[in-house]
Amino acid sequence: MNTATKLAGYAGGLAVVFTAALGLGAATGTPTDVTSDHATHEAAADAGHAEAATPAGLQVAEQGYTLSEIAAPAAANQPGALTFRIVGPDGAPVTAFDELHEKQLHLIAVRTDTSGFRHVHPTLGADGTWSIDWTWARGGTYRVFADFQPSGGPGQLTLGRNVDVAGDLAPTPLPAPSQVAEVDGYRVTLGGDLTTEGGPLTLTVAKDGRPVTDLQPYLGAYGHLVALRAGDLAYLHVHPQGEPGDGVTAPGPDITFHAQAPSDGSYRLYLDFQHENVVRTAEFTVATGTTEQAAPAAPRPATGGHGH
């Protein structure tokens, strides 16, 4: 089946528009990537402030810093490299970054239907080009996030761009809300509710019915949590409480985070944790407010969302 035929079937699910030029050459950000998209602005629940704020990850530029177009394999199952730059206020590529959780930049890639999550760490070249070996598992439109803090800059930023990939474009339904996720024989239970007021979320890791009490540090913590709003993939900064070696934080089974949703809606949570020298990703769907959920879908297989 050619790409055009596949797109016809896919349009009803993700409403993604591909151009005829997609089949060859590098994949780049789509025309929908704009510096400030009025359709993505949400009112922020911030006491004493009435102005609207845009959640992280919905912009390609913020406070003078821009995520360049992304070069990557144009089709699924086609090995190559994914490359990009962060351009500073002076128009030059940024070459100095502060470390955030032991890395200068965290790259998150996920399909716009929230499947295919990956959290990886590209290498920075002397000319400011970030690069990593890359293969897309499936076709579709992906959102690529760069999470970083430029040295001497305004603080931590998360910028995002869309990348169109030719291939199998069948959408994956959003899984039903669940407090339990299973991956590679591990069972992770979610405690607490994601709310617009903010509060703790505790994830408890077990294996073969027994609590895991010897989690290994990964990027300076016993777990890392990414939260994305279904629909537009607004990116939540979620911070772990405590750190390995602080004399207080235990290496499992509980990992606690503080999270605040920018609005009511459906969200996907992706927990990275390391045990027995392997990093795994547990995935959840949660809802805030009175959001109505679609009919339950079968759980997705573990993505193994890492390429370190």
Domain residues of the chain, as ranges? 3-165, 180-288
**Is residue 41 classed as helix, strand or coil in its secondary structure?**
coil
The CATH architecture annotation of domain 180-288 reads Sandwich (2.60)
Q: Where are the alpha helices (DSSP H) in 15-139?
A: none
Question: For residue 107, what pLDDT is reported?
Answer: 98
pLDDT bracket for residue 306 (50, 70, 90): low
Would 3-165 and 180-288 be classified into the same CATH topology?
Answer: yes
CATH 3.30.720.200 for domain 3-165, yes or no, is no
Span of 50-64, 171-185, 293-307 with lowest mean pLDDT: 293-307
pLDDT digits (tens, 9 = 90+) for 162-207: 999 999 889 999 999 999 999 999 999 999 999 999 999 999 999 9
User: How far apart are the C-alpha atoms of 264 and 290, rounded to whole Å?
Assistant: 8
pTM of the full structure: 0.79
pLDDT digits (tens, 9 = 90+) for 80-97: 999 999 999 999 999 999
Q: Is 274 left (phi over 0), alpha (psi -120 to 50) or beta?
A: beta
User: How far apart are the C-alpha atoms of 206 and 35, rounded to whole Å?
Assistant: 43
Beta carbons of 207 and 186 less than 8 angstroms apart: yes
Residue ranges of E strands in the chain: 61-62, 65-67, 80-87, 105-111, 118-120, 123-124, 129-134, 140-148, 157-165, 180-183, 186-191, 199-207, 210-211, 224-229, 235-236, 239-240, 254-259, 265-275, 278-288
